[in-house]
Structure 1
């Protein structure tokens, strides 16, 4: 296992590579990351869709969702939340602020496009028909709950989420083997899903998928029959959630994890 100083040096060197990538490559890798996270999100909705016990449903979702981030890291794509660690290189004055902001903006756009594309594919594929449309009901319920969050709550849940995501990514730099990297990713992501923290890129899938499901009369009726209220599920509430959670993720990843680790182990 690498030392903390070696780990931060690796993160800085990785950040230099990330900010020097052409926009087209960043966008493509961002789209892939959005797809990977969305597939994990869709799986987490699906696995819990027939479970009546909410605690057990949340546990099952948390066991499945980490597959998305594992694919992102192990397959080499670009995720906005993980890339908040580039801030360490900027604080060390080895990465220009402009390059870091460009990376975040392009990757965020790519993540959004990949997530929207996956939500569309899930909607038209019939995947939401699983278990008598209970997959659709869970998709609507999940999205409505996110849209019902107030701005302060969504922001704080976003902070907590990206503390765990960035710590997970940071630990992959400490690990030497592929098995170690996967284990480093799995447990923190399991915890954030189990606790109900908010991840901006996951919500780029969850909320549009819920909107698309609710627009289908059959799925909407199934949700109402299951006692799911989705009055909060609107485009405006979805945007409010996404902005609040994204800023919270930024504060947790770039503001807390990056700054504290840089301060503790800077050269």
Structure 2
């Protein structure tokens, strides 16, 4: 039996958060760079599948390949860490400063990796600018404009919408990171984490790291998006929403229910002894 009980998963979550918070800046940058680039690979893969089949669900089915690679290789995905490192802070295994240090340097790595992949993908998909009608490139341009101008065009309501989509997104993404801990086998981990990642991508929710690729890539390819539009109408509210969704609905809620059960079990064993 390779199933890991929820109470044991919680301890893994706390330990994983502590381990991530204690990584060096070099490791955070490298793992963040690779995490951002691999998720960008998965995004263009999903867009390609959708363009070929005309079915968005097919793109959602294949998108989790990137998340699987990141988790199995022990790379960094800041959105997953949003549910893990705060628990290590609650357990006093790391400090708030260490947590914020992780978030900052991983995000820097994500942006660098995403932009590097965006440049290479453009050269590959358009023969370095000689092909103008590549379907995936056009999809990225449209997505970049929708993810920024689409929200700014409706003002406050747009900000509420993007923030809500970000919360819902990372509720599922962090569940993916946690579900990987419910199995001791590689196949079990892959199957468990695939489900919530498919769920978020199929519904078009907002993921900060995906957007660190899609929006700057769209800008590079000709999208009508400004730098301020990227950050003010998407990246900042999505990061905040992803944090809320991850730390509250996955991290804190699982911590509250399973920490109590673990403590009760420990007391019973002590009495029995």
TM bracket (short chain)? 0.7 to 0.9
The 5-angstrom pairing of residues 135-214 of structure 1 reads 135-147=136-148, 148-149=150-151, 150-214=158-222
- In structure 2, stretches of 5+ residues that fail to align are 152-157, 264-273
Determine which structure has more spread, i.e. the larger CA radius of gyration.
2
- Indicate conservation of the 8 Å contact 2:170/2:242, yes or no: yes
Residues in 2 aligned to 1:4 and 1:37: alpha-carbon distance in whole angstroms = 27
Structure 1 unaligned spans of 5+? 215-229
More deviation, 146-155/186-195:
146-155
Deviation at 1:92, TM superposition (A): 2.0
User: What's the counterpart of residue 69 of structure 1?
Assistant: 67
SS class of match (2:75): coil
Match of 1:38 in 2: 40
State the distance in 2 between where 1:74 and 1:32 align: 13
How far apart are 1:157 and its partner, in Å?
0.5
Q: CA deviation at 1:263?
A: 1.0
Q: Secondary structure at the match of 2:103?
A: helix
User: Aligned residue for 1:253?
Assistant: 246
CA deviation digits over 1:186-235, x for unaligned, max 9? 11111111111110000001111111222xxxxxxxxxxxxxxx65x332
* Range 160-169 or range 122-131, more displaced: 122-131
Q: 1:183–1:20: structure 2 CA closer, same or farther, 3 Å change rule? A: same
The whole-number CA distance in structure 2 between the counterparts of 1:130 and 1:78 is: 34
Aligned length: 247
* Cα displacement (A) at 1:50: 4.8
With structure 2 as the length reference, what TM-score do the two structures score?
0.85
For 1:137 and 1:253, how far apart are their aligned partners in 2? 31
Q: Distance in 1 between matches of 2:46 and 2:131?
A: 13
Q: Which moved more, 1:118-127 or 1:27-36?
A: 118-127
Query: Which among 228, 238, 242 is matched to residue 236 of structure 1?
Result: 228
Q: Which runs of 4+ in 1 moved over 6 A?
A: 128-131
TM-superposition CA deviations, 1:130-181 (whole Å, max 9, x none): 8942222111111111111222111110100000011111111111111111
Q: CA deviation at 1:118?
A: 0.9
Match of 1:23 in 2: 25
State TM-score, norm by structure 1: 0.87
**Cα deviation, residue 71, structure 1:** 0.9
CA contact (8 A) 1:91 1:262 kept: no
